[in-house]
Structure 1
Amino acid sequence: MGKLRFKRQDLWSTLTSKDTIRFLWQRFVMMAGMDLRSIALFRFTMACCVIGDNIERMGDLFVLYTEEGLFPRSLIVSRYSSNYFFPIHIVNTSWTAQLIIFLIHTWIAFCMAIGFRTKLMTFLTWALTISLQSYVGVIGHGGDVYFRLMLFFCMFLPTAEFYSVDNWNFSQPKDSAGKDDDSVPLIDHEKIVDTNTSLDDSKKNDDAPIEIVGSMPDSSSSSPTSIASVSKKPLDPNRYRFISFATMCVLLQMSCMYIASFFHKSGEEWANGEATFYAISLDYFQTPFARWILPFRTTLKLLTIAVAKWELIGPLFWFSPVYTDYCRLLGAVGFMALHAGFVSCLRLGLFFWVTFFAQTCNFPPFVWDYTFDFCERKLMRGQRAVRVFYNTSSPLSQYLTLIMKTFFVLPSCATYAPLDKMPEEQSMTTVSTTPFASDDESSHKHKRLLGDDWFVSIDGNGVRRRNLAALNHLCSKSPLLFWLAWLCAKVPIGVTNVVSTIFQYCHSQSQASQQQTKRPSIYVRRRGPRRPAHRIYSIYTNVVCAFLFYLVLGYNLNIFHHQIPGWHFRYQQLAFLIRFDQGWNMFSPAPPKSHWWHAIHGELDDGTQVELFKDNAFHELATRVNYKVDFEKPVPFDTTYGNHRWFKFWENGYNAFGADSLRLETGRYVCRQFNSVNTGTKKLYRFTVFFVHEFMNLDGTVTPPAHQSLWNHLCYERTETKT
């Protein structure tokens, strides 16, 4: 009996030992945390989605967002405004003001993408995005909901730790001895060649066996990599992992979208496998690939079952306790493939881009390590890191160095140091006459101090390049800009001389400006890594995100009429206030079987009958007139309706019950646009908007189309002539 008691005590001590607790904590970090580099990529892709969405919306700036379009201020305030949020865009609804707001929004999103004042820019991007969505909410869709939620959580994630302007600096990682890389001799001074050798010339020495000296980057480095060839010590796979309630909120929100979507799909079509057939048969959403695959009914049934089951099972791979990183990657790639399959068959607009690139935050560390190691092997080919020297008196040189170091060059491919740390043997340099070609040493009659250069590089073979040639050589070691270096080698020498002159002029002007101003240079301000955020800020962020975790879970359960303990109606109101309101009932409980379109039959002042919708006539009212009046389906269907937001305008706005106020404003807009060009007897007198619909059968046939009148509009009253 005593022996049994001893075993129990030994088991308890093992379970409560420090090693066991450390192992469990590391496993939990792997399950609920994210890689800092993936978080930075997540920030960049979300900001790019904002920019792309703004560019698409600006194509309809006049029609959808100004006083003269379909949504004047009076209509928005009286019919489509929210009691929870005041849209900034409604302050001024003129075309000029809306254009300025859109451009500011795009610029702020760009600042968020490059990580400039990241927290502030992320907040402003989110605020302007939900303002835009609230301003004309009737043209919104599920992608907008998911989009604003991901932008909101970006504010609480450490998105600026890598690949950001906020974190760029001139410091070098420490080597294993704790010394700066600036003090490590990377070159043999006896082999240095004073030349402006081009990329083609340097290829002769690519196979030279040269040792790479460097170190593993710390969190201050903006371009981390595996650096397998730089350090012999094994790398810690958890060195860039980050966990907080913010990462758990993102994973929970993603899981809620897919799992809730699965439970909403309660229709018989999802059970018998016919849902995909009905979905890709819809005229507007259908792509050419969907029309090709439509006859393969067995394949469509398998796809239907696979989609439904993956939405339920897929999120579980993000939280797998075994093979965690591999399962996380499988889950991310699986959902990316799911949305790629969707977009190959359906036109989904912004929804695809947001849901596809949101999965980048789930890339585990080994993806980055393998990718960087592959790029390093292909770019460096066993050579030592390129030694780059920048001019501390030239802002142009300093900013170029920071941009290349932060965004484009792997840390194992280049090291950076000021020009004054260059060896004494190279304290003088010749004037560059050809940016990419080698100089003839016999023609060097003029020399000037090294400080006149703005960029110098020395490769692993001791070949020195100056200014534009040095920048071009550094680009050749970039996994993103190597093509640019190849292209520059094909450019005529006259063009490169002009470019070199422009760079030299910018260098001299920036140098003079830095000397005249008393403000510290970027080199002084960014010489070392930035100080980490205060611990109080981290505690505050986790407390807020813990409540948001509860809010997301409670709101999604409340949709299914299941409330968690402590849930209150005020939390529902708070969710509306910060635009956490969400619903994931896409194609639920079953895809629609009714196909519909519109026909607008008009009458000109002279009695001529016209059609104002088909053949893009609605989007070109001032120039296009159709004299063939019928109820046939528009061909091509998708371009007739325009982009995805235009389709939502007709589906959620114009077709909705009680939308007479919107139909009235639409009628006024049609009359204004048409009669602004057509005058006299060719003016539009009146028109009728018809809703035409047909029913899709399971065998692929459709019922005869039927139509009904939605709106009759009179553009003006005729004045009768007295006899």
Structure 2
Amino acid sequence: MSSMITGGGKSTFRSFYDSCIAPAFYMDYRSLAFGRVMVASYLLADIFFRALDADIHYTQWGQFPASMAAPLLEYRFTLHLFNGSYIFQLFMFAMAALFAFALLIGYHTRIAALLSYIMLASIQNRNVYVLDGSDDYNRMILFWFILLPSAKRFAVDAVRTQPTYTAQRIIRNRDVGTLGDKTMGGGAQPNQSHISLSTLGYMTQFTCIYLFTALLKHGDDWHVNLNAVYYSLNLREFNYGLTWTLLQYPDFLRFLTKATLLFEYLGPILMVSPVLNPYCRIFSILGFVGMHAGFGLCINIYLFIFIPMVAVSTYTPSLIWDYFDRVITSVRERHMLTIYYDSKANDVQQLHEDGIFVDESAQQHGEELKSRYFSVQFDGDIYCDYQAFVVLVSQSWLLWPLQSIVKTKPCCQFLSTICSAFVDLFNSRDSFGLKQRKQAINNTSGDKRSIGRILVTIVIPLIFILYVPYWNYNGYRRSLDATYPSPKFATWAYIFKADQWWGMFAPNPPKYSRWLAVPAQFENLQDVDLLNDLKQVDYVANPVYTFNSGQRQRNFLMSVIYHEEIRLNYGRFICRTWNINYPNEGYGKLKTFKIVLVQRLTREPGDDTPNDYFKEDIWTHTC
């Protein structure tokens, strides 16, 4: 009797797992790979735009020198304080870009993700006054890619560690989609879906972002009069695009307020729905993309628009990938392309073991296929070496726009040299052979591998699964009651950069717009605004610098409004800029300037009376 009960219990649990847990909490390996590429691409864009102003924000002679940054670190760390020179900062950005590129192509993926996370945390800690909510979002999403198996597909690591699968996947693509696993929803292939504490942790983090974003919006403008979107669109330092059109429809804005708040609650839940999960995920993904794209059409928040789109890409259901597999298979069958790798090699079986497919008919083509590296047969013609590479680029659904570039002679010479060096390097069996790599792995300590596996797959994910909701809940409680105690282990959260805050436009959007004007007196030019292309000071006109100075500089200038401690060094930076770095003989030397805070009150909906403007001198500086 007991054995029957036990057996029945196992069957019941398995049934519950297959019907509820697996369809809701899985992530497709292809989606994880796609998310990895998106995260790395976002990192590269962020690095690029930060590097444009590296001398302003991260050097000793910038707006925020090391002497000010060091005392604010407390338990945080930053490698960017080792040297305050411009060259060193560019070197650090180059290293960050290198790690992000390694993450993009999936080369030593976990290490690349870890190093990218360290570099991202370091640059964020170096200057906290240029940060906004997108930085927390980016950092927390990147953290989970240290733990997620995002290199199983579309990665160099997939070729290095799973050669047999890769070869079969490329050559026998016509079988894709025929091995569906109904428990994964949408016909996922048996080994395409992944469930672990890491996937659960990623979903927990994503849910916390939007759940606590919604909870923190507990003001009347979100729940009673529904004017939150109206006040958000009236922020002169942010609004542009469709703002003025939407402001003509106050009832529609109230609907958007209600819809935004509702979707921030329901969107993450739909991602893990056990019923019709693929379709719920598609609806939720489109909802998040549409919501943030809508924000971007009305409010200038720079890269903040894109990081949520990056985050939801990892939820892409399997049926989407299976559909694309069928389409690509159909195209490949119409335009058959065969790759012959190392056609001069005699040990064809050895190449098969290394994950390289060599068609048996290669021997029939004789001299035509005797290339140094590889050959391609396409539409009856045979191409060798670099010409074969050009054909592959032209037939790639991702790289085809580059075919006109790779056909040029300078590009041909450059890439041929690079490829020749790399191929010769990797063909060296003594250093980089797959058998040697496998042997080296087998010779390492099994105990160390087991400990590392337990840390990555169980201990670290479990700690963050428990702590991230606790941290966010604590922040929510403190937003309601300032006397509520700070979270436990906050020091460790700051060290590992797990601290986060999702309170944009919470509890209500501001009912005023704030920006700066900097009226200056040169020797030969008077009363011009340094933040408005040296035009005459106009305190009523919409600010220009908030749209043309870049995300980081705008954030820093907004910090100048609220943080008096950075105004002195900002003033010194202005004097150096105009009198030393970029002097103008026509204007003469910059003598004095003021930093003026301009505030514009937003009228209630339906009130057409002119807006009130106030200005206050918050800093006076003499050069």
Fold shared per TM-score above 0.5: yes
Aligned to 1:239: 191
Taking the aligned partners of 1:578 and 1:586, their CA distance within structure 2 comes to 23
Asked whether the 8 Å contact 1:380–1:477 carries over to 2, the reply is no
1:50 maps to 2:3: no
Aligned mate of 1:282, from 215, 228, 235: 235
1:30-56: CA deviations, max 9, x gaps?
A: 222211111111111111111111111
Aligned to 1:704: 612
1:350 maps to 2:278: no
Deviation at 1:665, TM superposition (A): 0.9
Secondary structure of the corresponding residue to residue 682 of structure 1: coil
Where does the alignment leave 5 or more consecutive residues of structure 1 unmatched?
Answer: 1-5, 174-217, 395-400, 403-414, 430-449, 617-624, 716-723
Deviation at 1:281, TM superposition (A): 1.6
Deviation at 1:295, TM superposition (A): 0.8
1:671 maps to 2:575: yes
Change (3 A) 1:685 1:546: same
Asked whether the 8 Å contact 1:163–1:223 carries over to 2, the reply is no
Aligned to 1:649: 556
Secondary structure of the corresponding residue to residue 620 of structure 2: strand
Secondary structure of the corresponding residue to residue 357 of structure 2: strand
Where does the alignment leave 5 or more consecutive residues of structure 2 unmatched?
Answer: 182-186, 346-350, 479-484
Aligned to 1:466: 384
1:160 maps to 2:151: yes
Deviation at 1:424, TM superposition (A): 3.5
Amino acid at match of 1:296: Y
Change (3 A) 1:581 1:231: closer
Aligned mate of 2:108, from 105, 113, 117: 117
Flag the structure with larger Rg: 1
Change (3 A) 1:312 1:122: same
Change (3 A) 1:656 1:525: same
Aligned to 1:426: 365
1:129 maps to 2:68: no
Aligned to 1:146: 137
Taking the aligned partners of 2:557 and 2:426, their CA distance within structure 1 comes to 57
Asked whether the 8 Å contact 2:515–2:543 carries over to 1, the reply is no
1:519 maps to 2:430: yes
Taking the aligned partners of 1:292 and 1:120, their CA distance within structure 2 comes to 48
Aligned to 1:436: none
Aligned to 1:255: 207
Taking the aligned partners of 2:361 and 2:431, their CA distance within structure 1 comes to 23
Asked whether the 8 Å contact 1:256–1:556 carries over to 2, the reply is yes
1:391 maps to 2:342: yes
Asked whether the 8 Å contact 1:261–1:586 carries over to 2, the reply is yes
Aligned to 2:222: 270
Taking the aligned partners of 1:239 and 1:518, their CA distance within structure 2 comes to 31
1:389-437: CA deviations, max 9, x gaps?
A: 112789xxxxxx99xxxxxxxxxxxx95348x554332222xxxxxxxx
Change (3 A) 1:155 1:351: same
Change (3 A) 1:483 1:372: farther
Amino acid at match of 1:277: Y
Change (3 A) 1:513 1:231: closer
Aligned to 2:28: 35
Aligned to 2:516: 598
Deviation at 1:232, TM superposition (A): 5.9
Q: Structure 2 matches for 1:498-513, cutoff 5 A?
A: none
Taking the aligned partners of 2:107 and 2:51, their CA distance within structure 1 comes to 24
Taking the aligned partners of 1:585 and 1:222, their CA distance within structure 2 comes to 48
Aligned to 2:481: none
Amino acid at match of 2:194: F
Aligned to 1:102: 93
Taking the aligned partners of 2:611 and 2:422, their CA distance within structure 1 comes to 72
RMSD: 3.7
Deviation at 1:225, TM superposition (A): 11
Aligned to 1:214: none
Asked whether the 8 Å contact 2:376–2:382 carries over to 1, the reply is yes
Taking the aligned partners of 2:70 and 2:423, their CA distance within structure 1 comes to 54
Secondary structure of the corresponding residue to residue 688 of structure 1: strand
Secondary structure of the corresponding residue to residue 621 of structure 2: strand
Asked whether the 8 Å contact 1:602–1:609 carries over to 2, the reply is yes
Q: Structure 2 matches for 1:681-696, cutoff 5 A?
A: 682-696=588-602
Aligned length: 595
Asked whether the 8 Å contact 2:474–2:486 carries over to 1, the reply is no
Aligned mate of 1:558, from 474, 498, 504: 474
Taking the aligned partners of 1:507 and 1:604, their CA distance within structure 2 comes to 57
Aligned to 1:454: 373
Taking the aligned partners of 2:87 and 2:148, their CA distance within structure 1 comes to 35
Amino acid at match of 2:323: Y
Change (3 A) 1:222 1:158: farther
Aligned to 1:718: none
Deviation at 1:630, TM superposition (A): 4.2
Change (3 A) 1:230 1:31: closer
Secondary structure of the corresponding residue to residue 507 of structure 2: coil
Taking the aligned partners of 1:277 and 1:684, their CA distance within structure 2 comes to 41
Secondary structure of the corresponding residue to residue 110 of structure 2: helix
Change (3 A) 1:512 1:86: closer
Aligned to 1:303: 256
Taking the aligned partners of 2:212 and 2:391, their CA distance within structure 1 comes to 52
Asked whether the 8 Å contact 2:529–2:537 carries over to 1, the reply is no
Taking the aligned partners of 1:231 and 1:32, their CA distance within structure 2 comes to 21
Aligned to 1:369: 322
Amino acid at match of 2:566: L
Change (3 A) 1:85 1:228: same
1:277-335: CA deviations, max 9, x gaps?
A: 11112112212222222212222111111101000111111221211222223222221
1:110-133: CA deviations, max 9, x gaps?
A: 111111121111111101101111
TM-score by length of 2: 0.85
Asked whether the 8 Å contact 1:161–1:222 carries over to 2, the reply is no
Amino acid at match of 1:558: N
Change (3 A) 1:289 1:483: same
Deviation at 1:247, TM superposition (A): 0.8
